[in-house]
């Protein structure tokens, strides 16, 4: 009996140490916005969106499976969504009230608590790559407007003509909203349709490190110069050692609740499971103030939360077992793509 | 005996109810920045700064004693500091690398968790009043650059020629920094002197409501378009039902720690006294990442915290007993002005 106990203990310890040091299963969660209006969806759009979400997950998954940092998976996944006109980020961005595409993005590296953010740029093809360059290659965390674009040039970020961001669907969306606004349409419909489509990602890599990123064209019909939560570290994006969040919703309310930081802080300080912390902020605190939307959250054990209080949230995730899931609506059972 | 008890109880209850409902003693705390370099100070500057801090406290105190909301006290106190060339906010703002004055500010109303923020404006005489107008008179929380200035015009905010913000002292400061940078001066001195002088205020009014505000010219020699923590709700400014914070320091680190929100969240979720929560974030977490600075914090019971880890922080406060104090250095006993 004594011999057995002596043998068993070291083996168990060894197994545990192995798990902690090298066997973290990578996890990736992405969203393509929480402003889904079910009545406006077609099966064609659903199919295209699911295909794009799958491509984005696969792009991030390749990084994670190659042992690359969470930051790379987040960047790669978001670039796929930024390049796809189905989402309100970069190509596909909504228009401002005066007919421009103003782009915002932010990224955060959880382990080092480093961050980068950009707001109000009009010529940067992939704003998430500029946010990352600001984090890694400048002394600053946040840059806006033409100053951010001047920095982008110095570090070789791809710039495009603003016309690149012009899509007919978004242009018609602005025209419709302007007409409704003029006609004094009910505010509720109008507001709901406005914050459609921000994209974001959170990832856990093999070394157990977390990252988060978010990119958006903001609100349809927004006033020139308005900044929402997406480029605000702590509101739209947060990552630390324990937790990573990317939010999507009516940005003003996400700033007023410091939504992403609030979720991670409840998880860290109150030891709330990530799902409970995310639901408290997204489905209780924000609606109490009058806002709506969703978020994706991930903890360092690979637990995922994806709460939202709109018709649907475009989302996909690579779970701890290597399976990929894609979903849009709340009542939808999460199927493999 | 029975009669006595019946008499005494209601009177006690009445007194308690009175205390809770109407007898909150107003408190106001202001700062004029934590980047004080003792070796560079003169008794003349100290005298001028203390006089300005006293004027700002008196301006806010008048509001509070007239029964006005904390928001009014914060606004009035900050306007005095913005108009004074001794502080790095509005008139007296530092210059960007390319010789401009770019101004940022934010304000938050604790009870309603409403907020307003503005970044990168160059023609707004009192950016704190624009932040407040964005909160109260727009649907947005944050606006930047020319879009913010266009909104300012529509609500009658006072605009000035950018030359109004040009002060000879700040111009020489930029020239000195540019020369040092060229000569490759030691980074530590250079960085320390850069984030001199943000202003801010936190207040508790007679109804027990809190507010916080911050205004800045940012970092001397900052790159055009850089945004620090001052206009970031959650980083430079935060107020909720329980706690109000205005931060001043090396902004990048305050964003990376969501400093103001972190202080209030530790106070709310961990029930840490405001002093302990403020010291943990300002003097432990931020220096651990390599940053420095200070903050002022106030809870709804009127407890004050003013931690900093630089030579000094320009500060003044109206305490619960109606006494006004002004101080600059850490070792300085807080005297009445």
Positions of E strands within A126-233: 142-144, 199-204, 210-216, 226-227
**Which of residues 71 through 130 in chain A touch B, CB cutoff 8 A?**
113-115, 117, 119-120
Please check whether residue A227 touches B, CB under 8 A: yes
User: What confidence score (pLDDT) does residue A248 get?
Assistant: 95
Question: Are A258 and B256 an interchain contact pair (Cβ–Cβ within 8 Å)?
Answer: no
Is residue B15 in a domain?
Answer: no
B234-253 residues touching A, CB cutoff 8 A: 234-235, 238, 251-252
Cβ separation of B234 and A143 shorter than 8 Å?
no
Count of CB contacts below 8 A, A vs B?
140
**Residues of A with CB below 8 A from B265's CB?**
261-262, 265, 269
Partner residue facing B234 (CB), from A114, A223, A235: A235
- Asked if pLDDT for residue B11 goes beyond 60, the answer is no
Reported as a pLDDT band with limits 50, 70 and 90, residue A9 is very low
Asked if the C-beta of A51 comes within 8 angstroms of chain B's C-beta atoms, the answer is no
Tell whether the model's pLDDT for residue B321 goes beyond 80: yes
How many domains is chain B partitioned into structurally? 1
Average pLDDT over residues B43-58: 96
Please tell me which residue in A198, A214, A257, A265 is annotated as part of the active site. Answer: A198
Query: Using CB atoms, which residue from B225, B232, B270 is nearest to A143?
Result: B225
Residue A259: is its pLDDT beyond 90? yes
pLDDT at B18: 41
- Chain B residues inside the 8 Å CB shell of A148: 225
Q: How confident is the model at residue B334 (pLDDT cuts 50, 70, 90)?
A: low
pLDDT band with cut points at 50, 70 and 90 for residue A4: very low
Measured between beta carbons, which residues in chain A are less than 8 angstroms from residue B270?
269
In the structure, what pLDDT confidence band is assigned to residue A252 with cuts at 50, 70 and 90? very high
Chain B residues with beta carbon closer than 8 angstroms to that of A120? 144-145, 147
Res B7 pLDDT > 80: no
Helix (H, G, I), strand (E, B) or coil at B156: coil
Interchain pair A234, B252: CB under 8 A = no
Q: Smallest Cβ distance to A261: which of B139, B141, B258?
A: B258
Q: Give the closest-approach CA distance of B195 to chain A in angstroms.
A: 13
pLDDT in tens, A277-328: 999 999 999 999 999 999 999 999 999 999 999 999 999 999 999 999 999 9
Residue A171: its H or E element: helix A168-182
**Residues whose CB falls within 8 Å of the CB of residue B165, separated by 6 or more in sequence, listed in order:** B90, B91, B92, B93, B101, B103, B122, B217
> B184: distance to nearest CA of chain A, Å?
16
CA–CA dist A204, A26 (Å, integer): 5
Reported confidence tier of residue A335, pLDDT bands at 50, 70, 90:
very low
Under an 8 A CB cutoff, do A234 and B235 touch?
Answer: yes
Q: What pLDDT, on a 0 to 100 scale, did the predictor assign at position B186? A: 52
Residues in B closer than 8 angstroms to A238, CB to CB, are: 258
Residue A318 belongs to some domain of the structure:
yes
> What residues are paired with A31 via a beta bridge?
A200, A315
pLDDT top residue among B146 and A6: B146
d(CA B64, CA B110): 16
* Residue B285: DSSP 8-state: I
Short-list B116, B125, B117, B49, CA closest to B93: B125
Q: Establish if A46 belongs to a structural domain.
A: yes
pLDDT at res. B40: 81
Taking an 8 Å cut-off on Cβ atoms, the answer to whether B261 and A256 are in contact is no
Helix (H) or strand (E) holding A43: helix A43-65
Residues of chain B with C-beta less than 8 angstroms from the C-beta of A138: 223
User: What pLDDT was estimated at residue B37?
Assistant: 83
For residues B63-75, give the mean pLDDT: 98
pLDDT computed for residue B294 by the predictor: 96
pLDDT of residue A183: 83
* A15 falls within a domain: no
| Interchain CB distance below 8 Å, A232 and B227 | no
CB nearest B145 (choices: A114, A120, A222): A120
Residue A15, Cβ density class (10 Å: 0-12 exposed, 13-18 middle, ≥19 buried):
exposed
| CA B21 vs CA A112, B26, B65: distances in Å | 46, 13, 16
Residue B105 Cα to chain centre, angstroms: 9
**How would residue B324 be classed by pLDDT, with cut points 50, 70 and 90?**
very high
Give which of A124, A190, A234, A264 to mutate to test B binding, by max B Cβ within 10 Å.
A234
A232 contact B CB<8A: yes
Higher-confidence residue of A84 and A3: namely A84
- The 10s digit of each residue's pLDDT in B79-93 is 999 999 999 999 999
**What pLDDT, on a 0 to 100 scale, did the predictor assign at position B4?**
43
CB B203 within 8 A of CB B244: yes
Higher pLDDT, B312 or B18: B312
Residue B3 in any domain: the answer is: no
- Decide if A146 and B234 are in contact by the 8 Å CB cutoff: no
Q: Is residue B306 a contact partner of residue B31, using CB atoms and an 8 Å limit?
A: yes
Q: Where is pLDDT greater, at B97 or A240?
A: A240
Q: What is the pLDDT of residue B333?
A: 55
Angstroms from B11 CA to nearest CA on chain A: 38
Give the CATH number of the domain where residue B90 resides.
3.60.20.30
In B, which residues are within 8 Å of A225 by CB distance? 143-148, 150-151
Using CB atoms within 10 Å of the CB of residue A154, give its burial: 0 to 12 exposed, 13 to 18 middle, 19+ buried.
Answer: exposed
**What values do phi and psi take at A148, rounded to 5?**
-65, -40
- Asked whether residue B18 is domain-assigned, the answer is no
d(CA A293, CA A286): 8
Model pLDDT for residues B204-256, shown as the tens digit of each residue: 999 999 999 999 998 888 888 999 999 999 999 999 999 999 999 999 999 99
The pLDDT assigned to B195 comes to 57
ipTM of the complex: 0.91
| pLDDT tens profile B197-216 | 799 999 999 999 999 999 99
Alpha-carbon gap, residue B234 to B262, rounded angstroms: 8
Cβ <8 Å between B223 and A270: no
Is the pLDDT at B192 greater than 60, yes or no?
no
CA dihedral in degrees (B315, B320, B322, B325; nearest 10)?
Answer: -20
Suggest the residue from B114, B117, B226 to mutate for an interface test with chain A (most A CBs closer than 10 A).
B226
Sequence-distant (6+) residues with CB within 8 A of B281 are B257, B259, B262, B263, B266, B295
- Residue with more model confidence, A196 or A88: A88
Considering the entire predicted model, what is its pTM? 0.91
Q: In the predicted model, is pLDDT for residue B305 greater than 90?
A: yes
Per CB-CB distance under 8 Å, the chain A contacts of B266 are 269
Q: Write out the catalytic residue numbers of B.
A: 198
What does the pLDDT average to over B99-106?
Answer: 95
pLDDT at A334: 52
Q: pLDDT tens digit string along A83-138?
A: 999 999 999 999 998 899 999 999 999 999 999 999 999 999 999 999 999 999 99
For B152, nearest residue in chain A (alpha carbons)? A225
Q: State the smallest CA–CA distance between residue B305 and chain A in angstroms.
A: 21
Residue A14 resides in a domain? no
The per-residue pLDDT of chain B, averaged, comes to 89
Alpha-carbon span A96 to A128, nearest angstrom: 20
Q: Is A150 on the interface with B (CB under 8 A)?
A: yes
pLDDT score, position B196: 62
**Per-residue model confidence (pLDDT) at position A255:** 98
State which residues form the domain around B270.
Answer: 23-332
Residue B60 pLDDT > 60: yes
Model confidence at A275: pLDDT above 70: yes
Assigned domain for B287 exists? yes
Tens digit of each residue's pLDDT (9 = 90 or more) over A44-64:
999 999 999 999 999 999 999
Pairwise CA distance, residues B257 & A24, whole Å: 26
CB atoms within 10 A of CB A8: 10
Interface residue of A108, A255, A262, A284 to substitute, partner B, most B CBs within 10 Å: A255
Residue to substitute from B118, B139, B142, B177, interface A, most A β-carbons within 10 A: B142
Calculate how close chain A gets to B62, using CA atoms only, in Å.
Answer: 28
Look at residues B311, B305, B318 and name the one whose alpha carbon lies nearest to residue B332. Answer: B311
Q: What percent of chain A has pLDDT over 70?
A: 88
Residue A220 three-state SS: coil
Of residues B316 and A181, the one with the higher pLDDT is: B316
Edge-to-edge strand list for the sheet holding A243-249: A237-239, A243-249, A293-299, A304-305
Taking CB atoms and an 8 Å limit, are A265 and B270 in contact across chains? no
Q: How confident is the model at residue A6 (pLDDT cuts 50, 70, 90)?
A: very low
Of A141, A144, A151, the CB nearest to B145: A144
For residue B266, the chain A residue with the least C-alpha distance is A269
Q: What percent of chain A has pLDDT over 90?
A: 77
Whole-number mean pLDDT of chain A? 89
Parallel/antiparallel/unpaired status of strands B199-204 and B210-216? antiparallel
Yes or no: say if A328 and A49 are a contact pair by the CB < 8 Å rule.
Answer: yes
Predicted local distance difference test score (pLDDT) of residue B38: 86
The contacts of residue A270 (CB under 8 Å, 6+ apart) are A277, B269
Answer yes or no: is pLDDT of A189 > 80: no
Name the band, by pLDDT with cuts 50, 70 and 90, for residue A185.
Answer: low
List the single range of A183-192, A274-283, B120-129, B170-179 with lowest mean pLDDT. A183-192
Chain A hits for B222, CB-CB cut-off 8 Å, are 140
pLDDT at A193: 52
State the average pLDDT over residues B162-168. 94
């Amino acid at each position: 009996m004594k011999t057995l106990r002596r043998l068993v203990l070291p083996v168990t310890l060894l197994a545990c140490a192995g798990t902690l040091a090298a066997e973290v299963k990578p996890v990736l969660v992405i969203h393509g916005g929480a402003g889904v209006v079910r009545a406006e969806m077609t099966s064609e759009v659903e199919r295209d969106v699911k295909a794009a979400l799958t491509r984005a997950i696969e792009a991030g998954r390749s990084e994670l499976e190659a042992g690359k940092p969470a930051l790379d998976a987040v960047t790669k996944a978001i670039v796929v969504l930024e390049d796809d006109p189905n989402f309100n980020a970069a190509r596909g961005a909504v228009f401002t009230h005066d007919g421009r595409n103003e782009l915002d993005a932010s990224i955060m590296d959880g382990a080092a608590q480093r961050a980068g953010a950009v707001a109000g740029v009009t010529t940067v093809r992939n704003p998430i790559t500029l946010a990352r360059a600001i984090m890694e290659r400048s002394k600053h965390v946040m840059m806006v407007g033409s100053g951010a674009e001047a920095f982008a040039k110095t570090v070789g970020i791809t710039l495009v003509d603003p016309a690149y961001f012009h899509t007919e669907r978004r242009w018609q969306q602005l025209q419709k909203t302007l007409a409704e606004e003029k006609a004094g349409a009910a505010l509720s419909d109008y507001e709901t349709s406005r914050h459609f489509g921000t994209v974001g990602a959170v990832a856990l890599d093999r070394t157990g490190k977390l990252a988060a990123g978010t990119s958006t064209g903001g609100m349809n019909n927004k006033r020139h110069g308005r900044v929402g939560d997406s480029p605000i570290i702590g509101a739209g994006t947060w990552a630390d050692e324990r937790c990573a969040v990317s939010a999507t919703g009516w940005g003003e309310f996400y700033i007023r609740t410091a939504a992403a930081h609030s979720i991670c802080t409840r998880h860290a300080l109150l030891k709330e499971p990530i799902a409970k912390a995310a639901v408290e902020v997204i489905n209780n605190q924000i609606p109490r103030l009058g806002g709506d939307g969703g978020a994706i959250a991930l903890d360092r054990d690979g637990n995922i939360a994806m709460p939202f209080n709109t018709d649907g949230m475009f989302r996909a995730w690579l779970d701890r077992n290597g399976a990929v899931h894609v979903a849009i609506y709340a009542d939808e059972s999460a199927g493999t793509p």
